[in-house]
Structure 1
C-alpha cells in the first residue's frame, strides 16, 4: 500500500511543502484572527509535524498571534500557510491552509469553529457541525 503525498506552495512558489499521509482533522475557523489573517475564514487541515517537509523555509515569516500560537506566511508574496501551536508536547500537529495545496487533498471539511466570531456578510449553511469556540 502506498502512502499518500500531498504537495502545496505559496502563491509565488518560494515556499513549497509536502505532506505524507492523511489529514487528522479539517475545519473552517471563523475567529477574528483567522478572518483578518486570510481575508475570510481559514479552511485548514491538521497533519502530524513529522509528516510535513518544507522547501524554502527561509521564506517563511512567523507571526506570534498569541502566547500559544504562531502563524506562518510567505515573506515574499504574503500567502497564509501554517497555523502552528507552540506547545509541541501537547500538540503534535501543525495546521496547513487547505487552499495552499497544489494537488487534490482527498478530504472535506469536518466542522466549523469559532462561529460566534464569524463575519456578518455570510451564512454557514453546509450542514457541518458548528462550534461556538
Structure 2
C-alpha cells in the first residue's frame, strides 16, 4: 500500500497495489504544468482511493486528457485519461518509500533546452 497527498493535505490518496515503474514526460504541457518534467506512475482506478475529492479541480488540457490539481495549494497530482482504466499520479506526491525507479523518458524531442538527460535510461 502506498499513500500520498498534495502539499497542504486537503487531498490524500491511497494506492492498494504495488506501484509500476514511473516514466518522465518532457512534453511542453507537462513541463508547463509541473515546472520541469512530469514523473508519474499509472494506477488502476480500482486500486486508488482518494480523500478530499471536493478539492480536486480538473483542467481539460486536451480532448483526451484532464489534469487534476488541489484547489487550495495548487499541487499538480493527476493526469487522467477518462477513456482508460488508469490515472497517472505525480511521483512527488507519494510518501516515501515508493520502491520504484524511473524506467523511461518520453517526449524527449520536446524537452527543455536548460537541462540534459544523462541517466542512461531509454528515451522516446
TM-score (normalised: structure 2):
0.97
Residue 64 (structure 1) shift: 0.3
Structure 1 segments (4+ residues) deviating >3 Å: none
Please list, as runs of the form range in 1=range in 2, the aligned pairs for 1:8-87 lying within 5 A after superposition.
8-87=4-83
Partners in 2 of 1:92 and 1:22 — Cα distance? 16
Residue equivalent to 1:102: 95
Residue 92 (structure 1) shift: 1.6
> C-alpha root-mean-square deviation of aligned residues, in Å?
0.8
3-state DSSP class of the match of 1:109? coil
Partners in 1 of 2:94 and 2:81 — Cα distance? 20
Residue 25 (structure 1) shift: 4.1
Partners in 1 of 2:65 and 2:21 — Cα distance? 18
Gaps of 5+ in 1: none
- The total of aligned residue pairs comes to 124
State the Cα deviation string for residues 94-125 of structure 1 (Å, max 9, x = none).
Answer: 10000001131100111000001000000001
Partners in 2 of 1:23 and 1:93 — Cα distance? 12
Gaps of 5+ in 2: none
